[in-house]
Amino acid sequence: SSSSTAASSCQRLRHHLLPSEEPLALNRRLARLFTSQDGSDGGDTQKPFIAFVLGGPGSGKGTQCTKIASDFGFAHLSAGDLLRHEIASGSEKGELILDIIKEGRIVPSEITVELIRKAMETKNAKRVLIDGFPRCEENRIAFEKIVGTEPDIVIFFDCPEDEMVKRLLGRNQGRVDDNIETIKKRLKVFESLNLPVVDYYSSRGKVHKINATGTADEIFEAVRRLFSSLRL
């Protein structure tokens, strides 16, 4: 929005301010008004509501995100899909990403965060699900630095390993990493690098743990309860 709009808003808002109010307090109040959650500014200046969606490989992140997106009006950004899209583009960066994904390892944060940042900018959505990210502390710190914000909530889908393995072996999407050797590596990487990120957000009171066993519909009942309880 242009500065003239801001200036006229400023004038319109003067009567909300006390005569004695300090300029700093005035700026703070204006900033708050312009970032209010009422949706009146079309999403341009407003910080989106961000949910990180975590869980082991095969825990059902993608499946549940599709449902959340359609029922609660979220944009769904899958870090894995963004990386696979880069592979499919045939770029040199894509070749590097493919080599890493085949090994079950984590792609350098600057690559993934840049893809997420661009996708967030393009979608310009008020509510965003970031699926499969951050996968490690390095991912988390790079996001905070480059995007300059933190998630509002973190969803963690808790699923036993044997169930995850069963689901991944039955996924049938032709993925280069859904074979038993790579799956074993991904599970190790999940435990050693991704669980610490969940612990970090737990200590900050942001994690909502959901039991990810049962049918997709049963799990979504718990997910629906959670999202219905949020002030979005």
Ligand X SMILES: Nc1ncnc2c1ncn2[C@@H]1O[C@H](COP(=O)(O)OP(=O)(O)O)[C@@H](O)[C@H]1O
Ligand Y SMILES: Nc1ccn([C@H]2C[C@H](O)[C@@H](COP(=O)(O)OP(=O)(O)O)O2)c(=O)n1
Comparing CB distances to ligand X, the nearer of 85 and 126 is 85
Cα–Cα–Cα angle for 171, 136, 162, rounded to 5 degrees: 35
Is 182 a binder of ligand X (CB under 6 A)?
Answer: no
Determine the size of the site formed for ligand Y (CB under 6 A): 18
158-177 residues in contact with ligand X (CB under 6 A) are 167, 170-171
Is 98 a binder of ligand Y (CB under 6 A)?
Answer: no
Comparing CB distances to ligand Y, the nearer of 26 and 146 is 146
Is 151 a binder of Mg ion (CB under 5 A)?
Answer: no
Q: In which element (H, E) is residue 94 found?
A: helix 92-102
Comparing CB distances to ligand X, the nearer of 105 and 126 is 105
Is 151 a binder of ligand Y (CB under 6 A)?
Answer: no
Comparing CB distances to ligand X, the nearer of 29 and 185 is 185
Is 62 a binder of Mg ion (CB under 5 A)?
Answer: yes
Is 134 a binder of ligand X (CB under 6 A)?
Answer: no
Provide the residue count of the chain.
232
**What is the greatest pairwise CA distance in the chain?**
69
Any known ligand binding at 196? no
What's the CA gap between 57 and 147, in Å, rounded?
25
Q: Residues 111, 193, 99, 173: is their CA dihedral positive or negative?
A: negative
5-24 residues in contact with ligand Y (CB under 6 A) are none
Three-class secondary structure assignment of 71-82:
HHCCEEEEHHHH
CB of 121 to ligand X, least distance (A): 24
What's the CA gap between 9 and 30, in Å, rounded?
9
Any known ligand binding at 186? yes
CB of 45 to Mg ion, least distance (A): 32
* Amino acid at position 132, single letter: G
Nearest to 14, CA basis, from 36, 29, 34, 35: 29
Residues 6+ apart with CB under 8 A from 101: 83, 84, 87, 107, 176, 177
CA separation, residue 78 to residues 65, 86, 209 (Å) = 9, 12, 19
Comparing CB distances to ligand X, the nearer of 86 and 178 is 178
Is 57 a binder of Mg ion (CB under 5 A)?
Answer: no
Is 64 a binder of ligand Y (CB under 6 A)?
Answer: no
The annotation places the binding site for a ribonucleoside 5'-phosphate at 84, 105-107, 132-135, 175, 186
Q: What residues line the site for ligand X (CB under 6 A)?
A: 55, 57-63, 167, 170-171, 215-216, 219
User: By the criterion CB under 6 A, which residues form the site for ligand Y?
Assistant: 57-58, 61-62, 79-80, 83, 101, 104, 106-107, 112, 132-133, 135, 139, 177, 186
